[in-house]
Structure 1
Amino acid sequence: MTKPGALPDERVENPPKPRDAGGRSGGARITVNLTAKANAALTEAADKSGDIKTDVVNRALIIYAYLEEIQRTGGKVMIQRAGEDVPEVIHFV
């Protein structure tokens, strides 16, 4: 089932399950250094969604790749805030 506000894309609705390096394929274990702002955003997203931070990061990377592909192929990523009449174009830098 799609969460409210989720993109209707198979990769977003059913992200691949990460696997460990013990012979199971697909995933990778990495270490990242988050800025204070990114860490706060990760914590907020996990708290609001009820997901663990690993799942939030996995979903965020899948969504980011999807949106980058839209822009790379000439599409536009737009949002429309509640109460606003006109959607705004989002640019990734």
Structure 2
Amino acid sequence: MKNTNGKLIGNIEGDSVYCLDLKGLVIGITIKMEDGNFNRIAPIVIRCPKDLGVLSSSEIEALKAFRNSDITNFLDNYVGEINVDFHLDKAEIATAKV
């Protein structure tokens, strides 16, 4: 929240669920991690508002350290990394005139 000037409000729920409120939009995002591993949440949480155009370039840069995560084994050897491999499309919102 601090790095996004309050544009994002996140909440960790039970059963590996993360809820994200995007202030200024009338949507929220819920992320469920099937394997229960929360260390994969941050890159997903950053990608969603970035794709929806909610974050400025300076806010995205401030979150750079959280975008990708290294995976290490029990000996703390690097064995891979977590990268987000999806993009959200911003839906056009139609407004009806009454």
TM over 0.5: no
TM class, shorter-length: under 0.3
Q: TM-score, normalised by structure 2?
A: 0.26
Could you say which structure has the higher strand fraction?
A: 2
Q: TM-score, normalised by structure 1?
A: 0.27
